Structures are given as structure tokens and as C-alpha cells.
Structure 1
Amino acid sequence: MLISPLIDAALAGVLGLLVGSFLNVVIYRLPKMMERHWADECAQMQGTAAPEAEPFSLVRPRSHCRQCGHAIRWYENVPVASWLALRGKCSSCGSRIGLRYPVVELATGALFFLAVRQWGVSPAAAAWCGFSAAIVALAMIDWDTTLLPDDITLPLLWAGLIIAALGWTGVTLPQALWGAVAGYLSLWTVYQAFKLLTGKEGMGYGDFKLFAALGAWFGWQALVPIILMASVIGAVVGIAMKVSSSLREGGYVPFGPFLAGAGLTAMLFGPNAILAAIGL
């Protein structure tokens, strides 16, 4: 009886590794695609022609080494295994391939494994696997660029509402709807108050949309535990980075990765476990 669920979870983990490999592409390319789109819009507003550029999307051009342009062969793109076989270096020029690539793949694989282990082969497990993939991508993009792309946050929000309507996660549609509303408005209110008092912007609109999406997935009752955990983790990481003098220019730390981490914790252990973990 135990073998089949473990095999199902293991297969889901393998699928997660493959999805994680694709997420590495999304994490790097989607912000670049957004920058190109903004440049094109600016050129149109100024009445000038945007400079011609090679096609650039999630599938074009083919994956290659950023240093020497070496096209990555299929057997050099096997999740985790290829990075280990290549010893973290390009097979052509020997330039370093970041450790983050296999880490993203392993993290996604582990989340898929845990989702299927917890919910079995079911629509709920599929939904939480999709949630995990989106959250991993958002966390890494925000950490790199301080951007939370609408191309991911808004579909994640709508998916939470649709899945609640289908009854796959135990969150009712009214709970999801008010969770989305409360998630967005709560951070928007904090943002406006901070801006009024200091004249500075403490966070971006992407954070509002991500918190709204978490509200849609977990319901309005989970918002307080999630924001508390995100704030605690963010404070600890921020202090550690300040002590180690590793803060970025301007002394800021993006909040999206901590919201993402709290969301994954709520997925795996439940919102109430978050309150217990921080002593409430």
C-alpha cells in the first residue's frame, strides 16, 4: 500500500525537476522580455523606431552559454545530473554555471514530490504543483530584479479563485474572493500610509498582487499568519544582510521572496502551523 503512493510522489518529483529546469529559463528570460517590451513602448511614445533585435522569448533563441555562446545540447540540459557531470562548468569555455540552477530544479522537484505525497494523485495535488512552480519563479525573479511580473501573479490569482470554485483545495469561493480583496487592499493601505508619512515607496504593486493571490489560494483567514511569517523572515534576513554588509545599493530587500516562502510554508504545513512556529 505504501509503494504506490511513494512511486507516484517520486514520479511527480521527476516532473518537478523538469519543470524546475524550465523555470530557470523563465526566471532569466521573462524580465528581459519585459524590458524589451518597455523599450518598444517608449520608442512608440517618442515616435521613434525601436532598434531591431534578435527574437527573444521563452523558447527562442536556443539555450546557450552566456559567455561563449555555446549551444547547450540536450544531454547537457538534464536537470541536476548534467550540472554534476559538467562539474558546474560550460563544456566549451569552462565558465562557471551557477549553483542556483540545480537548486531551483531540486526545490521544484521536492515541492512536487511533497504535494503528491500529501494529496495523492488528485486535482488538488496538480493545483498545488502549479502553485509551487509559480511561487518559485516569482521568488527568484523578485530577488534578482525586484519585479513580480503580472504574467505570473495575475494568472496565479485567477487560478486560486477558479480552484476554490471547483472545490479542489477546501477553500470556499467566498473565502478566496475576500482573501484576494483583503490581501491586495491590506498591503496597498500600508504602502499608501508609508508613502504619506515618509514620501517614499516601501514596496511595489507586485507585492499587493502576490498577497492577493495568496489570499485567493488560502482564504482570508490565512492572511495574518502568512504576512506575520513573511515579515519575521524578512526582518531576520534583512538584519543578517546588513550585518554582513551584503545589502544592495539603497539598502533594500525585496519582500516578494518572503511572501513566497510564507506561502509555501502555508501550503505544506497549514496557516495555523505558521502561528505556532512563531509562538502565537
Structure 2
Amino acid sequence: MSALMILREGYPIAFCLMSGILGAILGSFLGVVVERLPARVMAEDAATDSLMYPASHCAQCLHLLNWWENIPLFSWVLLRGRCAHCNTAIPLRLLVTEGLTLLFFALSCWYFPAPQAFLSLWIVWCALLPLTLIDLRHLLLPDAITQPLLWGGLLLSAITGRLPLVDALYGAVAGYLVLWLLYWFFLLLTRREGLGYGDFKLLAALGAWVGWQALPTLVFFAAVCSILFYFCSRRISGELNVIPFGPGLSLAGLTVLILQLSDSGL
């Protein structure tokens, strides 16, 4: 931590630029997570691609990417968004994932010079961004991301003391129970499922990061975001039967954490 603080204070612009480059690299990996993890979770056999194997390749023609085809951001622009082998369009979401992660990493360490603050934001971002994209496409919030996010929040509270461990623990328990009780109330009332178990686990994980005191604000903000998303989607596509709650929870959780870090002066 002290070494990072010295680098950040001594070379702020260079440090933020290097942080952005790191963000682009991690954003490229997050793109792989978004593409491959849902298939692993939903697959009935073990033949599905893992996160590490096979190497990066075109999903259409299975062409293995050369090093120059696998540089975050630049390769997409260099290839004009198409595979060099079969000319199939490369999903724009991969470029967006890399670009957003680059910007978030650079801006977060610029506005929050304390390593404890920007490292926390990086960890949360690297979990919430893929969760958001996966939930939007598949209505799925994989345990492989929500569970490490939960334990990471509890562990960080125990190590750094930014948030009292008891508040983080109560936040995790309360976060799960709030949506679990709402799920059963809605199910008994309408005979339909209004939430998924992944939503419970995600709010539990966010509760471990922001504490039980922030949960009412977080849930309210998440509900507002989800309602706005619903009306915007209906206006664009004309019909939307299911609203993914994960993106609203993710945006609300990240916003609350940023506000908490701002208030703490880190």
C-alpha cells in the first residue's frame, strides 16, 4: 500500500495512465468472462470453453488470434471491428467493456489517491461489470462472481477496517434476507417469481461492501434504475416481459460505495 501511495503521489499522471492500461487489459479478460462464463454455468457437459482455454479466438471461424489481434482497444480499431480471417463482426460490447474499464481505473485513482479506495473500486468494478452484462443477456448472476465479491467485501473490512466488520456482516445477511423475503411475499401473492436467487446473493455481496446502514438507499436506487430501464427498453423495443434486477443493483451498489469513499475522505 505504501509503495502504491508513493507512486501515486510522486507521479500522479503517469500512475493514472498506467492504471488505465491495466484497466484495458483486465477489461479484455472481463470480456472473455462475459462471453464464456454463462455457457459454462448453463452447460450440461464439461466440453464448454473454460475462461483460460482455448486461447482467444473468433467465435465464428475459431481462428486463434495473433498477438497483434489481441491488444485491448487497438486491435478492434486496427481490424475495424471484424475478424481478420473470416471478416465476421467482432461484438462491439468487447470494445465497450475494455474502454469503460480503462476509463474507470484511470478516473478512480485520479479522484481517490488512497490505494485502499481505488483498489476497492477496481475489485468491485471487475465483479459488477460482467454481472451486469451477463444479466442483461442471459438473466443470470453466476455464483462464480457473486460469492468472491461477498467474501472479498468481508475480508477487506477485516483487514483494512474501512467498514466495521460487524456492519459488513450484518449487511451481507440483511441484503440476502430483504430480497429473499420479498421473493416469497411476491410468490405467495401472485404465484409468480419476481426475483432470482442471484439477486439475493448480489445484494448480500454489496451489503458486505457498503454495510447494512446503506441498504435502504441502495435498494431504492436500484429499484428506480430498474424501472427507468424497463420504460426505456419498452420505448426502444416495444415489449419487455422480464426486467433484470442485477444491472440496477450493480449501478446502485457502485454509486453508494463511491459516495461512502468520498465522505470518508480517502
Distance 1:272 1:128 in 2: 12
Q: CA deviation at 1:243?
A: 2.5
Deviations 1:116-141 (A, max 9, x none): 22333624422321111011111111
- Residues 14 and 247 of structure 1: CA distance in aligned 2, closer, same or farther (over 3 Å): farther
Question: What does residue range 1-280 of structure 1 map to in structure 2 within 5 Å?
Answer: 4-36=11-43, 39-40=44-45, 54=47, 56-120=49-113, 122-167=115-160, 170-248=162-240, 251-270=241-260
Query: How far 1:68 moved relative to its partner?
Result: 1.8
- The letter of the residue matching 1:13 is G
Distance 1:187 1:100 in 2: 30
**Aligned pairs, how many?**
256
SS in 2 for 1:11: helix
Counterpart residue identity of residue 6, structure 1: I
Distance of 2:113 and 2:76 partners within structure 1: 30
CA distance in structure 2 between the partners assigned to 1:162 and 1:120 by the alignment: 22
One-letter identity of the residue aligned with 1:203: L
Task: Please give the alpha-carbon distance, in whole angstroms, between the structure 1 residues aligned to 2:227 and 2:89.
Answer: 32
Post-superposition offset of 1:86: 1.0
SS in 2 for 1:60: coil
Letter in 1 for 2:188: L
Asked if the contact 2:117–2:261 (Cα under 8 Å) also holds between the matched residues in 1, the reply is no
Give the unaligned 5+ runs of structure 1: 41-52, 274-280
Q: CA deviation at 1:272?
A: 9.8
Distance 1:6 1:176 in 2: 34
- After superposition, what is the alpha-carbon deviation per residue over 1:260-279, rounded to whole angstroms, capped at 9, x for unaligned? 11122223334999xxxxxx
1:29-53, CA deviations, whole angstroms, 9 ceiling, x for partnerless residues?
11111122xx24xxxxxxxxxxxx7
Distance 1:12 1:92 in 2: 32
Length-normalised TM-score, structure 2: 0.90
Aligned-residue Cα RMSD (Å) equals: 2.1
Residue pair 1:8, 1:120 contacting (<8 A) in 2 also: no
SS at the partner of 2:195? coil
Query: Secondary structure of 2:21's match?
Result: helix
Paired amino acid for 2:28: S
Q: Percent identity?
A: 43
Contact 1:179 1:212 in 2 (8 A): yes
Shift of the 178–156 alpha-carbon distance from structure 1 to 2, 3 Å rule, reads same
Task: Give me the TM-score of the superposition, normalised by structure 1.
Answer: 0.85
**Structure 1: distance between partners of 2:85 and 2:243:** 36
